[in-house]
Structure 1
Amino acid sequence: MDGGPSRTAMMAAGGRAAHLIVDSAPYLFQDTVAADLLGAQAGEVIGYHRQFGDHVVLSGTRAQVNARSSYTEARVRTGFGQYVILGAGLDTFAYRSPLARQIAVFEVDHPATQQWKRGLLETAGIDATATRFVGVDFERDDLAAKLAAQGFDSATPALVSWLGVSMYLTEAAISAVLTVLGTFAPGTELVLEYALPPELRDESGTAYAEFALPAAADQGEPWLSFFTPDALTDLLDKHGFTVAEHISQRETVSPDLWQRADNLRPADLCRLLRASVSD
């Protein structure tokens, strides 16, 4: 990463912004800041969704990023005083949620990505004081130390989200992060998004993967890790977590939100895992 735009961060923010324009109500999630944050690039990104929005990758991306955000932010509202967003990218929670003024929000990402995001925030005139930027090169830096330097209290339970990242990492890299998270206060909750192996995908998930995975590899961002729910539960158990549930995309939001007039449909390609640091 050389400080330029992150392709995956752009895709996620674009999917959240386009959902409110391309898709019809009821909305899975309402990110009212993503388009402003994308700034001059918003028109191009949203225009692409307008023109080709029914394509399985674009509609699948909108379903994925909005459903996972809806579920995760609902968990933040259950009473945590600290929220750690791993691989924050262009996440906008801190800039639109009133709760961000009441809890400590830590955005963790590569320093170059954060420099790019700070520039977008400044250009858009978006107040960034509700978040604490934690620049981390996961291959070199101590995550716990970097968080502590920004005021994170490892003795107090936190909600940790880790969305849209694990599939790009090796299992060894995932384990290294889980080792750190497992030292956080008991009751700390992790919402982790992971990719399913081919044999567990449904028809929609398979169709999405057939387009998206080769494209990601061609862009230099191949998907490296796939887990069955049982295998991931075992991995979390080894790192001191108790798994509460695995959540399919369909289950992330109220069932009535999938009763739609548009072409947005859930796919079983990625799932969310919710787990807590054990006592």
Structure 2
Amino acid sequence: MDNGSTDNRGPSRTAMMAAAGRAAHLIVDRPPHLFQDTVAETLLGERAAELISYHRESGDHPVLSGTRSQVSARSHYTEARLAAGEFEQYVILGAGLDSFAYRSPLAGRVAVYEVDHPATQAWKRELLAAAGIGFSTVEFVGVDFERDNLAAELTAYGFDPNRPALVSWLGVTMYLTESAIGATLDTLSGWAPGTELVMEYALLPELRDESGCVFAEFALAATAEQGEPMLSFFSPESVTALLDRHGFGVAEHISQHTAVDAALWQRADGLRPVDFCRLVRAHIPGRTRI
């Protein structure tokens, strides 16, 4: 859960929860790890100890273990898609405290564009500077989605819409209305054929498994209390229809269980996949992506 937004009370709580989940996964959960985010703890700075302590002390709580599995599995899948393709541009919508550009060797061969609210971008730059983490290899594209033109802002920072890109949209759509999601898809659909989108969405209540229902019971209340309520829920069929209306062809829907190698779920600890959110991989037709 990482919509990267801020409100009048300060930095995004969901962005911090997501980063803490990725950091805590390496501390609380046993190997094999689903994903290796070696920067998240440092990026959280003085808040790291507090946020990770919740996982240390109550790591089996459904919302905490579910958050770790969610943020780790989705990052594993998305960055594996980037590694497998020939993309030269990587756009991270609602980047929050995503750490790809500061730890992955892939960052040296792709142009990275982190898109988020200007206030979130300023907050993140402060955290990076305080941690001594360089950020010269990433473009921070500050966008207020209610007022700014996403395509124009990205182009101003050097993004080339005529070259295929991988677009990561994780932990965001559940906090938006369907019309707002559609408006962003309209913008993306004008980019080069072969552009690929990995988008996370929340499932309708009747499609969640037992662990997903338990996770939702806690997560929905927590995010609403923090001022970032979840607004949109889908079935795979309705997501496919939405993407089709906006010019995308769907390649696959991915659950947490299938987002990582099956062997990674053969675990000695209690971390398990939670069917509350899924990923969809879609592309702009015109160039085949395997």
> AA paired with 1:112?
A
8 Å contact from structure 2 (residues 23, 38) kept in 1? yes
C-alpha distance in structure 2 between counterparts of 1:247 and 1:50, whole Å: 29
C-alpha distance in structure 2 between counterparts of 1:216 and 1:45, whole Å: 16
> AA paired with 1:55?
H
Match of 1:203 in 2: 210
Where in structure 1 do 4 or more consecutive aligned residues deviate above 4 Å? none
8 Å contact from structure 1 (residues 3, 116) kept in 2? no
Most deviating of 217-226 and 244-253: 217-226
Q: What pairs with 1:115-130 in structure 2 (closer than 5 Å)?
A: 115-130=122-137
State whether structure 2 residue 146 is matched by structure 1 residue 169.
no
Please, which runs of 5 or more residues in structure 2 have no aligned partner?
A: 1-6
Alignment match of 2:236 (pick from 211, 229, 234)? 229
> AA paired with 1:34?
A
The structural deviation recorded for 1:3 is 8.0
State whether structure 2 residue 190 is matched by structure 1 residue 183.
yes
Alignment match of 1:29 (pick from 32, 35, 56)? 35
User: Could you give the per-residue CA deviations for residues 180-234 of structure 1, whole angstroms, max 9, x where no partner exists?
Assistant: 0000100000000000001100000000001110121122211110111111101
Match of 1:76 in 2: 82
Match of 2:62 in 1: 56
Identity %: 69
8 Å contact from structure 1 (residues 22, 49) kept in 2? yes
The structural deviation recorded for 1:2 is 4.0
Match of 1:14 in 2: 20
Q: What pairs with 1:214-225 in structure 2 (closer than 5 Å)?
A: 214-225=221-232
C-alpha distance in structure 2 between counterparts of 1:16 and 1:27, whole Å: 10
C-alpha distance in structure 1 between counterparts of 2:100 and 2:86, whole Å: 16
TM-score normalised to structure 1 length: 0.99
Q: Is the alpha carbon distance of 1:3 and 1:143 closer, same or farther for their aligned partners in structure 2, counting shifts above 3 Å?
A: farther
State whether structure 2 residue 271 is matched by structure 1 residue 254.
no
8 Å contact from structure 1 (residues 111, 136) kept in 2? yes
Q: Secondary structure at the match of 2:125?
A: helix
- RMSD, aligned α-carbons: 0.8
C-alpha distance in structure 2 between counterparts of 1:9 and 1:71, whole Å: 19
C-alpha distance in structure 2 between counterparts of 1:14 and 1:194, whole Å: 21
> AA paired with 1:128?
F
Q: Is the alpha carbon distance of 1:66 and 1:221 closer, same or farther for their aligned partners in structure 2, counting shifts above 3 Å?
A: same
Match of 1:154 in 2: 161
State whether structure 2 residue 47 is matched by structure 1 residue 41.
yes
The structural deviation recorded for 1:48 is 1.0
The structural deviation recorded for 1:19 is 0.4
The structural deviation recorded for 1:4 is 2.4
User: Could you give the per-residue CA deviations for residues 26-79 of structure 1, whole angstroms, max 9, x where no partner exists?
Assistant: 000000000010011111111111001100000000000000000000011122
Match of 1:270 in 2: 277
Match of 1:103 in 2: 110
TM-score normalised to structure 2 length: 0.95
C-alpha distance in structure 1 between counterparts of 2:44 and 2:33, whole Å: 20
